[in-house]
Structure 1
Amino acid sequence: MDNKILAYMNLNTAYRPRAIPKSGRFTFLSKVSGMPQVWTLDKDNKPIPYAEFDDTVIGVYHSPNGDMSVVGKDNNGNEKVQLYLLLKDGQETETLVESPEHFHDFGGWSPDGKYIAFSSNRRHPGFFDVFIQNVITKEITKVFENDDICSPVTWLPDGEHLLIDIPENSLDQNLFKLNIKTGETIKVGEKDVPARYQSFTFTKDKQAGYVLTDLNEEMMYISKFSLNNLNSFEKVVHVSEWDIEEFKLFSNQQKMVYTINEGGIYKLCIFDLNTQENKEIEGLPKGVIDSIAWVSEDEFVFGVNTPTCPGDIWKYTLSNDQVERLTYISHSEEVTLTEPKICTYRSFDGLEVPYFYYEKKQSENKSALLYVHGGPTVQTRAEYNYYIQYLVDQGFAVAAPNVRGSSGYGRTYMGLDDVRNRMDSVKDLVSLVDDLVKTHKVNPHKVGIMGRSYGGFMVNAAISHYPDLWGAAASIVGISSFKTFMNTTGHWRRKLRGSEYGTIEEDLAFFEEIDPLLHSHKIKAPLLVFHGLNDSRVPVTESIQLVMAMKERRQDVGLTIFENEGHFTEKIENHIKMHGNIVKFMEKHLLD
């Protein structure tokens, strides 16, 4: 493998900081040791392991008193999270929730730090019941039984109720206030009005709270509610054009800090609840800001990830209005990183579609690659992508679009690709190629495409329905047939995916009309396919059946299956193999 791509791949990241209450310290996740583990900083601000496990750490959740932590980890990427208790500042580990064949969705600590909540499908593959557990005695109690998908969102301040989510569809939530003693539930939100609800925070007097929602609006905004009336929400901060992504209430409860997602580039702001004044925090690089965590009354930390700064932890101090970069885990002088431009184009029906465009230097007749995100209700943002950066350094132009169906541009935009409109998002890719040729002088015969998960479906659909457009393609954990996918994906996902993609009962004829597998005989572009054997979201059979059909016709296709991965590629050796092969493949077929 080219040593240069290794330099891009070896840029590590620090992300998802979590404050350890009452300690002035925090933890974060990083792949410094090869896979995501829990780290912290020593007294000299040097990264040191906080706790180490034998597989990928999915998340860490500190107790309200800061004396214990829960860590979730899976097994070889299967996403079946098991829960473990950390004691004595991460030095001791105890098993909390371990049933390797089942999923466990963590739902937070009780206010007194004695219990945790989680949901699990132990009773049936597609049914998630809600449990609480005493972390000292390890006793587990089922508090809600549900013949559907369900997850606990947060404890209420009284310690006697949970908010639980029984999703309406792939986008909207049905929230209920659950009495953990009686099992009684009360609906949250306006009746029959679909909405999202995220990031519940409660006031110290235990009478009210704040939440992110898009109730009766296109975009996510901060709203206040009374715990005595969970059906009425009052707008506090609303930006009409953009989503608010995250917020945290100050300890004095007079101000809050929040992020605005402006087309994939974030702003960090402070809002004064008394004066109604907003202030943007200056001095931060342009990228994605997440995981705001208060470490003291005067300081909070957060993660910053930009196209040229792969991910580090920063701090803001209120008293002197200063930002400071705490970690330099992603620092490197060995590589050249390119800032993208945000561009837009008119698609086939006049819809304006945004994309990030990377180009090292302007030239004519250049080769290009389309990098398609998954989801589909996900957004390509101004974040580091080592594969994109390496290709740009090699002379490719790279376009990463947010086609219709992407998040970040409002509820209407997210719904434009639902069910029978599925192929309109694929047509957006066709229109993007036209724009690249006309606007950026790309060679129309040297355009490649790659994507992961739903982005893999987009690749499979693009090369099978528009075979003359592509010079090479790579599909990672992609869907090849909605007909087979809806029959084989995890039971817990079928209802949600059905609301987005359609169902076997109502949309089988449409599936057969669009499925890449049934159009694979038309594929002309050389294709590389990658999949994790333990994928619980998109079963590995989706890739196997496509590749087998193509090989029988002697089409140019290759398949790599990683036996120790699931839907997400986590092991560094697999990253090296997969992206090293893709780079060589794209260079062979697209560069002169």
Structure 2
Amino acid sequence: MTNTTDQMLLKYLNVYGAYQPAVIPNQHAFTFLSKETGIPQVWKWNGKTFDIEPYTDLADRVLSVSHSPSGKKTMIGMDHNGNEKQQLYLLTNDGSTVEELVVSPEHFHEFGGWSPDETKITIASNRRDPGFFDIYVLDLKTKKMEEVYKHDGKCTPICWTKDEENILISVSETNIDNIVYVLHVESKELYRLGSKTISARHHSLELTNDGKGGFLSSDVGRDTMGVFKFSFDAPWNLQEMFGSTNWDIEEIALSPNEDMLAYTVNEGGFSSLMIYNLEKHSHYKVETLPTGVYQSPSWIKDGEIVIGVKSAVLPGDIWKFNLEEEKAERMTYVGESKDVEGLWMEPELHSFSSFDGLEVPYFYYGKQKQSCPVVVYVHGGPEHQIRAEYNPVIQFFAAQGFAVVAPNVRGSMGYGRKYVKLDDVRKRMDAVADLKWLVEDLVNTRGVDREKVGIMGRSYGGFMVLAALTHYPNIWAAGVDIVGISHFKTFLENTGPWRRALREYEYGSLKLDTDFFEEIAPLNHTNTITAPLLIFHGRNDTRVPVSEAIQLTDDLKNQNKPVELVIFEDEGHQTEKIENHIHMNRKIVEFMETFL
């Protein structure tokens, strides 16, 4: 890369957004997360446009923020070097005082909410056993921590009920489905919300102030997520209120006076913000926000919502919408980059017909021209979804004359239960075949040069890269695998025990499916790889162990095949530190430029 190109890439990579807004009660203010200082930290908006200030300056990345009901205390979750083992810290005096509250570095902790009187919190942790998460209640005055629910699997507290007598908890049932229970803290009695016979996803949940029930998003009895109402008097009866035939309702937020319900809809990778009037039973669509992906809607007061907004050309900022004035206003400008933002491109949304006639959607970045090099960018998950969000490497490739194609192959979220389950267990390679058919479609409909197609992906997307290179070797000119899986058997044996049980619903089990794992494992088919391969991994990865990358690299080197492995000693499953982010993406761009 030339110095000029290198400097331009750095400008793309040094763009930071604002995300995860959290309203501070009783202050007409909110916090948000940003990587502006190099790693995610908390910032505060103080009531006026541009008026933001640092709220934390901690040693490692902040993963979660929760303000107490009074707004006087804040709970921060922070891990170490990307290991995702979240520890909890109590902030008071507007963030200036930091107290270590729940710290056991070898264990995971997930915050589950403040008691309404702020004397207690609830958390989940795997202190009893690496594979089991239990629910605890911590008394903030005495610092005594009591186990209130024992579970041999993965569970997370959601919130306290208004009377402080119960905790709602989410228990993972499969890789996508969960059960919501109501746990009485004193008696330890437990009962379930919704059907005992139908598996479902239950997500965003809001309680009413009268303590009698609330609302949640769920796909019980549906293909997509809708909004349901529930009461604690008849917890088995989830009453469907409304939903979309084609799209998921993702997040809901109940207004302070409880007359409005804001909700976001995922429409093929773009978001809509809707307002439902609970008295009039009417829906209002917000039209004044920028097109993009919306996150974390919350009411700063009646009639005003704050929400995170991201798009391919907006790295992330916080916006406010006034319902009475029907006016949207940008509250932060963290995602601005006057040097390069004029070069960013909006993607086109297309689809192709795969081998079995399934329509598979994809985003296309770049200017339409014959024979341009193409990078296929595969998302992770596998149940995630590539959405219309800013990605510096995608944007840089597109500006350099590449086309970047980001598909949501079968198994992706956002298109209903049927679609997300199309790659389960022994249907795994059907999703890899989608990638082959995508390239064929690009060649036939866009004049793509089949000798100039590369592929890259992270996590499960890394497996997809390796599977594509080994099972369809003639299609690819280069591959980049970031924290990917090279063999499902070794992955399941070495990943976190709590994750193994859930991943087996998706990938297959060590007991029943090892023959299939051996059949499809990229590690067993390295002899077929013809494309050069670049691999990245974090030493502290607790999801996909670094051994997945090492065993693959060693095997390829023994065959004298072109492969390079970069291990970040201070990273986990994500790449968070800016110097590593820059190093990794500079090498990716150089690699693709060389081989495409």
- TM range, smaller chain: over 0.9
8 Å Cα contact 2:315-2:389 kept in structure 1: yes
Residue of structure 1 equivalent to 2:32: 28
Task: Name the SS of the counterpart of 2:423 in structure 1.
Answer: coil
Alpha-carbon distance in 2 for matches of 1:318, 1:272: 12
**Which among 239, 244, 248 is matched to residue 253 of structure 2?**
248
Residue of structure 2 equivalent to 1:354: 361
Deviations 1:425-474 (A, max 9, x none): 00000000011111221110100000000000000100011111100010
8 Å Cα contact 2:205-2:216 kept in structure 1: yes
Distance change (3 Å), C-alpha of 1:64 and 1:42: closer
Alpha-carbon distance in 2 for matches of 1:493, 1:132: 24
Deviations 1:367-403 (A, max 9, x none): 1010000001111111000000000001100100000
Deviations 1:68-88 (A, max 9, x none): 010000000000000000001
**Which among 11, 16, 35 is matched to residue 12 of structure 1?**
16
The aligned runs of 1:200-349 (5 Å cut-off) are: 200-335=205-340, 336-349=343-356
Alpha-carbon distance in 1 for matches of 2:320, 2:171: 36
CA drift of 1:154 comes to 1.9
Counterpart code for 2:442 = L
Residue of structure 1 equivalent to 2:52: 47
Residue of structure 2 equivalent to 1:489: 495
Are residue 143 (structure 1) and residue 148 (structure 2) matched?
yes
8 Å Cα contact 2:115-2:160 kept in structure 1: yes
Q: Which sits farther off after the overlay, 501-510 or 275-284?
A: 275-284
8 Å Cα contact 1:154-1:200 kept in structure 2: no
Alpha-carbon distance in 2 for matches of 1:11, 1:263: 26
Alpha-carbon distance in 2 for matches of 1:143, 1:362: 59
CA drift of 1:346 comes to 0.3
Are residue 520 (structure 1) and residue 555 (structure 2) matched?
no
In structure 2, the gaps of 5 or more residues are none
Distance change (3 Å), C-alpha of 1:158 and 1:42: closer
Alpha-carbon distance in 2 for matches of 1:286, 1:92: 39
Alpha-carbon distance in 2 for matches of 1:375, 1:258: 24
Alpha-carbon distance in 2 for matches of 1:257, 1:152: 23
Task: Name the SS of the counterpart of 1:324 in structure 2.
Answer: strand
Alpha-carbon distance in 2 for matches of 1:482, 1:325: 45
Residue of structure 2 equivalent to 1:387: 393
**Which among 115, 118, 125 is matched to residue 113 of structure 1?**
118
8 Å Cα contact 1:81-1:103 kept in structure 2: yes
Alpha-carbon distance in 1 for matches of 2:469, 2:213: 52
Q: How many residues align?
A: 589
Residue of structure 2 equivalent to 1:411: 417
Counterpart code for 2:501 = K
Task: Name the SS of the counterpart of 1:561 in structure 2.
Answer: strand
Normalising by structure 1, what TM-score?
0.98
Q: What percent identity do the matched residue pairs reach? A: 50
Are residue 87 (structure 1) and residue 87 (structure 2) matched?
no
Normalising by structure 2, what TM-score?
0.98
Alpha-carbon distance in 2 for matches of 1:105, 1:181: 21
CA drift of 1:43 comes to 5.3
Counterpart code for 2:11 = A
Task: Name the SS of the counterpart of 2:157 in structure 1.
Answer: strand
Alpha-carbon distance in 2 for matches of 1:161, 1:207: 12
Task: Name the SS of the counterpart of 2:560 in structure 1.
Answer: coil
Alpha-carbon distance in 2 for matches of 1:254, 1:43: 25
Residue of structure 1 equivalent to 2:103: 98
Are residue 57 (structure 1) and residue 62 (structure 2) matched?
yes
The alignment's C-alpha RMSD in Å is 1.0
8 Å Cα contact 1:345-1:435 kept in structure 2: yes
CA drift of 1:47 comes to 2.4
Residue of structure 2 equivalent to 1:447: 453
